Amino acid sequence: MLNGGRDGRRPLAEAVSVRSVWPGAPAPLGARFRTGPDGVAGTNFALWAGGAEAVDVCLFDDEGHETRCPLAESTHEIWHGFVPGVRPGQRYGFRVHGVWDPWTGGRWNRAKLLLDPYARAVDGEFTLPPEVYGHVRDWPQQHIADTVRDDRDSAPHVPKGVVVHDDAPDDEWKDDRRPKTPWADSVLYELHVRGFTRRHPDIPEELRGTYAGLAHPAAIGHLRRLGVTAVELLPVHQFAHEDHLLKRGLRNYWGYNSIGYFAPHAGYAAGGTRGQQVGEFRSMVRALHEAGIEVILDVVYNHTAEAGELGPTLSLRGIDNRGYYRLQDDARRYTDYTGCGNTLHVVRPQVLRLITDSLRYWVTEMGVDGFRFDLAATLARSLHDVDMLSPFLAVIAQDPVLRRVKLIAEPWDVGAGGYQVGAFPPLWTEWNDRYRDAVRDYWRDALPDVRDLGYRLSGSSDLYAWGGRRPQASVNFITAHDGFTLRDLVSYEHKHNEANGEGNRDGTGDNRAWNCGAEGESSRADINALRRRQLRNMLSTLLLSTGVPMLVAGDEMGRTQGGNNNAYCQDNETGWVDWSLLDEPGWHELYTLTARLIALRHRHPVLRRGAFFSGRASGVDGLRDLAWFTASGTEMTEDDWFAPAGTLGVYLSGARIAARDERGGRVTDDSFLAVLHSPAARAPFVLPGEPWARAYETVVDTSLEDQSVEPDAVLPAGSTVVLEGRSLLLFRVREPDPYGNP
């Protein structure tokens, strides 16, 4: 091992001063300002550090001078102490003493200042110079570099935790102050706090890219006009940039590299980083709630920014590497179900406590309404395999706070058996990538038949109709942050990620995309018109499908990333929303159609059913709640489902909705017929006759370029309409007039 006297490396300097510490209490964990013995104000520090030999809390003044406070008390492996006089705004970190023995998983190194896992705020940014690594990063023999200890002090190079005043009123986030939008009524909108507001012309420059910017009336006004009910924020937990990005002059943009599960990312704060980010985040949530919009956080509890054995020592690795991470039989190495170098050991009580404490904090003290769990299959693993009776899922199911919020799983990870779409238990909804793939394939005319599409349009009952689950278990999406934007999906067939600096090797090659005849931006009017029609087709399909639709910020106005399908490191105009698109007629009309479709969905319960369709005939007329039609206007047979077909009619009966209103009355609605046509050639379609309808009123026609007004054509049942190539028509069924009027 390398010590302070070898290789010319400076040993850890002695602390400037040592401060006396009172015993304090082992709970709650973290740094909590309070009144101590004899009414003395101060802060209680508590850190779980199993296997540690000693723990110091280190206080830093504005010049970076360090005062060390040994925590002499240890209760059930929690080191704790009360430091008189320490008030909100104080910056701090921990040094944890223990045995350096990577061969058995021990990576304690007192030279490394560690971020408190329970820090409520973080001041500063991780820049990852060699000093922040517990081992000698640049050791000539890299295959053993992780075993050679680096004794240089990391404190000057790492951010510090900040003591925060707990000033949220007890009743701030009561249920009656939240939107509490039912799942069936929800329309999700995935956005990046920085990217959504960074280029908005009506948001003051100093607020762009921040929580305060998202709370600005200009940002909220767009969300309200669009009609979405919830924003799903890309990660806002404090995160670090990866070393390989920093070396290339790039930064982690998406934020899936968490290091502080209680702290709002300081880089998104306009008002300061000495605790002000906490109040700013709460104000943002409050403003969104007042607009009727819920806040869902994308959270990354499957791994941390410390990566594998050659990664930096920032927090958990130096606190208790064996206690927090899954290690292989060779304890130098990490089990990696995430593709990010490490995996949190969620089966261990202290790790499960960290995660659930964090989740409850964001609900009860920060006001959020739900979570989307990145690589949720990792959290559901027991010792090895994914287990839907795992400790994590069991704890969530019985927790009185967490079982009441929206829970969304990304139902896969990169390990063996990690693909778990449809397998999560009741309470959970899931990102449904089978919906994404089926809709993409249909509109590029690549499905062999329409069997899979039928399931996806009607709520994916084949995946979710078990154990009391409902159509809302399916979060339907065509695009997400990860992959092409919707516009790029119809403009590129191949990824163009050269700007990421990884030789275009990153990002998936399975895009299921069609460029409409030219790769990239085109000057041809016919290609551009077809692309806009395809966007209208896909957005209409998404918003008319049963389940919970999710849009991605900017897709409603044609945002492009220039073919980059992995813009995780593009904190620039590639990754930011371009608001000038709203001034262009073609893209403004796409936005208008999207808002109109969302409004239509909100008005009509038949488009957002809370129960699966039965498909059975009922009533004296023998109608079904859901019926499927061929282009000839006849109901589909078993053979039709297996035959190649590009035209599909879907009838939704508003008279047979399996729902009751608050007083127990039947819910009824208009009936609709949607006709999807993916082939390029025009084709006839016969509108089903009685008893399905007497006449049909055209509501949406994606073949029309001008979407600023609703079509108003009324056609008699049994008539033939000509479907334009690659188009979607939505008809409202016209009921017979009781007075005999036409």
Q: Is 705 a catalytic residue?
A: no
Q: Which residue has the higher pLDDT, 1 or 548?
A: 548
Determine the Cα–Cα distance for residues 150 and 134; give it in Å rounded to an integer: 6
**89 phi-psi bin (left φ>0, alpha ψ -120 to 50, beta other):** left
For residue 742, pLDDT over 80 is answered with no
- Catalytic residue, from 56, 365, 374, 640: name it: 374
pLDDT of residue 243 exceeding 70, the answer is: yes
Neighbours of 286 (CB within 10 A): 16
Of the listed ranges 348-362, 448-462, 506-520, 654-668, the one predicted with least confidence: 654-668
- Residue 309 annotated in active site: no
pLDDT of residue 6: 34
pLDDT digits (tens, 9 = 90+) for 627-636: 999 999 999 9
pLDDT tens-place string over residues 190-240 = 999 999 999 999 999 999 999 999 999 999 999 999 999 999 999 999 999
The answer, yes or no, to whether residue 707 has pLDDT greater than 80, is no
Asked if 377 and 424 touch (Cβ cutoff 8 Å), the reply is no
**Which domains, ranges and CATH numbers included, belong to the chain?**
30-163 (2.60.40.10), 183-605 (3.20.20.80), 614-734 (2.60.40.1180)
Summarised one tens digit per residue, pLDDT across range 146-161 is 999 999 999 999 999 9
Write out pLDDT tens, residues 528-542. 999 999 999 999 999
The pLDDT of residue 666 is: 85
Closest to 59 measured CA to CA, from 48, 70, 75, 72:
70
Element (H, E) at 602: helix 585-603
Q: Check residue 306 and give left, alpha or beta (phi > 0: left; psi -120 to 50: alpha).
A: alpha
How does DSSP assign 192-230, residue by residue?
-HHHHHTT-TTS-GGGTTSHHHHTSHHHHHHHHHHT-SE
What is the per-residue pLDDT for 170? 64
pLDDT band at 713 (very low <50, low <70, confident <90, very high): confident
The pLDDT confidence band at residue 5, using thresholds 50, 70 and 90, is very low
pLDDT of residue 656: 80
Q: Is the pLDDT of residue 167 over 70?
A: no
- For residue 91, what are the β-bridge partners? 60, 162
**Residue in the structure block whose two tokens are 């401060």:** 19
Contact between 280 and 206 under an 8 Å Cβ cutoff? The reply is no
Catalytic residue among 66, 280, 294, 410: 410
Other C-beta atoms closer than 10 Å to the C-beta of 669 total 18
Q: Is the peptide bond before 28 cis (omega within 30 degrees of 0)?
A: yes
Q: What is the mean pLDDT of residues 651-674?
A: 87
For the purposes of burial, counting CB atoms within 10 Å of the CB of 742, is it exposed (0-12), middle (13-18) or buried (19 or more)? exposed
Residue-wise over 146-160: b if at least 16 C-beta within 10 A, else e?
A: bbbbbbbbbbebbbb
